[in-house]
């Protein structure tokens, strides 16, 4: 007589499968879940690679058109038009490439939220002042880095690129796709920090990497606090508008210490900026730690 094999109840089989998923293949699958560290490097590669490809294509076009490599020889308005076109093409390619990669890796869920109800004028004013404050705090470090080299032209097309294209594309990519994807897996604080660094590295030049990373912390906090892309796009546009005004008035790379004649006044401003930065940083971190992940809400 054959010995019958004991049957395992369905509930026990399901429990065993769950345990295996947690300790074995399930753990492996979780490690491969989007976004991994490799995914973040791939997204950064897409961002930097698209800019290199478009820039190389532009250089070849300039050579074939007989203009050579010297962009500075172009009229400021014409240069502004060219740079706006290049920026629009490169960032469109970046956004499309990142969204395609995200979908191919199984990324799901909303990646950008727009809410008019999330607009908070007081929060935007505080964030705008804080951006100026951290710029002052970073001045001693920025003096040790190579001077920022930007030649984006002048006029309508430059304004369009800086005040419209940049806030829309960069916020959709960095706060929309990157921050939202990281938050769903790693939590609010990690997403806030990593997406800010991603934002900084995307800008390329050392001075911009540091400055943009810190500004990215402020923009990331505003997005998380308001749950609205409108807030960060408006804030980003205001910051770039001020940068453009400084550039056209000949103060593009000027530091506050160079503009304030009284050293005593500068020290007082620096202390105030440092205090505002420290208190605001602590309050942001404390608030973000209390936020829940989308899956946990």
- How far is Cα 108 from Cα 297, in angstroms, rounded to an integer? 17
Q: Helix (H, G, I), strand (E, B), or coil: what is residue 31?
A: helix
**If residue 272 lies in a helix (H) or strand (E), which one and from where to where?**
helix 263-289
Angle among Cα 100, 219, 107 to the nearest 5 degrees reads 25
Contact 101, 244 (CB under 8 A): no
207 and 145 in contact (C-beta within 8 Å)?
yes
Confidence (pLDDT) at 143 = 84
Sequence-separated (6 or more) residues with CB below 8 Å from residue 127: 218, 219, 221, 222, 235
Kindly give, in sequence order, each residue whose CB lies less than 8 Å from that of residue 173, ignoring residues fewer than 6 positions away: 47, 91, 94, 95, 98, 202
Q: 261 by DSSP, 3-state: which?
A: coil
What pLDDT score was predicted for residue 66?
A: 64
DSSP 3-state helix, strand, coil percentages of the chain (rounded to 5)? 75, 0, 25
Tell me the pLDDT tens digit for each residue of 130-164.
999 999 999 999 888 887 777 788 999 999 999 99
Name the band, by pLDDT with cuts 50, 70 and 90, for residue 68: low
- 39, 117, 292 from 288: Cα distances, Å: 24, 20, 8
* pTM metric for this prediction: 0.85
Q: Is the peptide bond before 35 cis (omega within 30 degrees of 0)?
A: yes
At 259 the pLDDT is 86
Q: Count CB-CB contacts under 10 A for residue 21.
A: 14
**Cα distance between residue 265 and residue 51, in whole Å:** 42
Q: Picking from 9-13, 108-112, 115-119, 267-271, which range would have the lowest pLDDT averaged per residue?
A: 9-13
């Amino acid at each position: 007589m054959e010995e019958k094999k004991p049957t395992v109840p369905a509930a026990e089989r399901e429990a065993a499968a769950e345990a295996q998923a947690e300790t074995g293949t399930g753990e492996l699958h979780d490690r491969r879940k989007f976004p991994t560290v490799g995914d973040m490097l791939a997204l950064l590669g897409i961002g930097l690679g698209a800019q290199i490809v478009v820039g190389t294509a532009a250089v070849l076009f300039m050579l074939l058109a007989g203009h050579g490599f010297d962009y500075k020889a172009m009229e400021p308005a014409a240069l502004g038009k060219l740079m706006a076109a290049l920026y629009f093409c490169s960032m469109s390619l970046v956004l499309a490439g990142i969204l395609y990669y995200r979908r191919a890796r199984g990324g799901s869920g909303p990646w950008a939220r727009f809410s008019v109800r999330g607009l908070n004028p007081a929060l935007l004013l505080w964030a705008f002042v804080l951006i100026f404050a951290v710029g002052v705090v970073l001045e001693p470090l920025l003096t040790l880095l190579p001077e920022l080299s930007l030649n984006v032209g002048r006029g309508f097309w430059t304004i369009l690129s800086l005040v419209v294209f940049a806030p829309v594309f960069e916020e959709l990519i960095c706060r929309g796709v990157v921050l939202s994807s990281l938050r769903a897996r790693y939590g609010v604080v990690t997403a806030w920090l990593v997406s800010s660094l991603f934002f900084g590295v995307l800008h390329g030049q050392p001075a911009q990497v540091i400055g943009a990373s810190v500004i990215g912390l402020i923009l990331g906090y505003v997005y998380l606090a308001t749950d609205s892309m409108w807030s960060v796009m408006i804030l980003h546009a205001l910051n770039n508008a001020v940068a453009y005004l400084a550039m056209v008035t000949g103060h593009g790379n000027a530091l506050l210490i160079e503009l304030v004649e009284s050293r005593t006044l500068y020290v007082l401003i620096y202390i105030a900026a440092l205090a505002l930065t420290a208190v605001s940083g602590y309050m942001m971190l404390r608030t973000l730690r209390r936020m829940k992940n989308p899956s946990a809400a």
